[in-house]
Amino acid sequence: MLELRAVSKRYGGVVATDDVTLDVLRGEVHALIGPNGAGKTTLIGQISGVLATEIGRILFNGADITHLPAHARVAAGLARSYQITSIFRRYSVLENLALAVQARSGSSFRFWRPVREESALFDEARALAADIGLQDRSSTVAATLAHGEQRALEVGLALATRPQLVLLDEPMAGMGPQESRAMLALIQRIRSRVSVLLVEHDMDAVFRLADRITVLVNGRVVASGAPAAIRNDPAVRQAYLGEELAA
């Protein structure tokens, strides 16, 4: 479904991503792991279109989207959540979600009719809120949500655009055990209707969720395959996992 071929990103002398080739199959949860600074977020940026890709090609459902602007990729079915929460802080949860729904339902070059009257938008937003577990907080202003709730909204915004593939950039960042469990459950719930490229540090979650894992170190793909294979790969252990999996 998603295919990266030899994708690289260079900033002057610094190489952020280096000759990355990977693919995401329809219906799978594909995890992308690696040490900090390995280039995971850069790669996500390139896939979502926020960062330009001069070297390599990105294909989505067979179509070359390497130079497609970010908003067009969303329309094509590719959505993204952010590692550092990036929501519409002054709006309520419902308004946040309704906005994303609005983005994919018809033109917004409408200047007269109040959005309030479009009940379809808000009905769908309410359903989404329930999906991500925020139905009781739907009128809360986003800035006042707890961290875990904000991360859930973060994912919700990506889901609202009804993507085929969603890029989740460290959805569990900064979460305690209870919040992480809730996020894990959320991802389990959505995997039936959307493919996922998951960037995560929480190894427990990664091994529970992933169908396949790709390991990125210093911008290069070091290993890629089934979780069991990755767990046992000596190069990966040396480069990254260390004692985390000793048990």
Partner 1 sequence: MTRAIAVFVVLAIFPLAMQAMDGMFYVSLASRILIYAIAATSLNLVLGYGGMVSFGHAAFFGAGAFVVGIMAVEGVRSAWIAWPAAVAVAALAAFVIGALSLRTRGVYFIMITLAFAQMIYYIFVSLKTYGGDDGLSLPGRSTIGFGTLGNDLVWYYLVLAILAAVLYGLQRLVHSRFGRVIAAIRENEARAEAIGFPVYRYKLACFVIAGAVGGLAGALIANQSSYVSPSLLHWIQSGTLMIMVILGGVGTLWGGLIGAAVLLGLEHLIADYRIGWLAALAPNYQDHGALAVGIVLLAIVMLAPEGLAGLFTRRRHA
Contacting positions for partner 1 (CB under 8 A): 48, 50, 69-72, 74-75, 79-80, 82, 86-91, 99-100, 102-104, 107-116, 118, 157-158, 160-161
Nearest-approach distance from CB 233 to partner 1, in angstroms: 34
Q: Is 144 left (phi over 0), alpha (psi -120 to 50) or beta?
A: alpha
Nearest-approach distance from CB 103 to partner 1, in angstroms: 4
Which residue bears the tokens 């018809």?
106
Which residue, 74 or 206, is less far from partner 1 as judged by CB?
74
Which residue, 134 or 158, is less far from partner 1 as judged by CB?
158
Residue 128: CB atoms within 10 A of its CB come to: 25
Q: Phi first, then psi: give them for residue 241, nearest 5 degrees.
A: -75, -35
Nearest-approach distance from CB 119 to partner 1, in angstroms: 14
- The whole-angstrom separation of Cα 98 and Cα 100 is 5
Nearest-approach distance from CB 171 to partner 1, in angstroms: 15
Which residue, 86 or 188, is less far from partner 1 as judged by CB?
86
Which residue, 21 or 61, is less far from partner 1 as judged by CB?
61
Which residue, 69 or 242, is less far from partner 1 as judged by CB?
69
Determine the 3-state secondary structure of 75 from DSSP: helix
186 Cβ contact list (under 8 Å, min separation 6): 131, 132, 133, 152, 155
With b for 16 or more beta-carbon neighbours within 10 A and e for fewer, the 159-182 pattern comes to bbbbbbbbbbbbbbbebeeebbeb
Nearest-approach distance from CB 211 to partner 1, in angstroms: 25
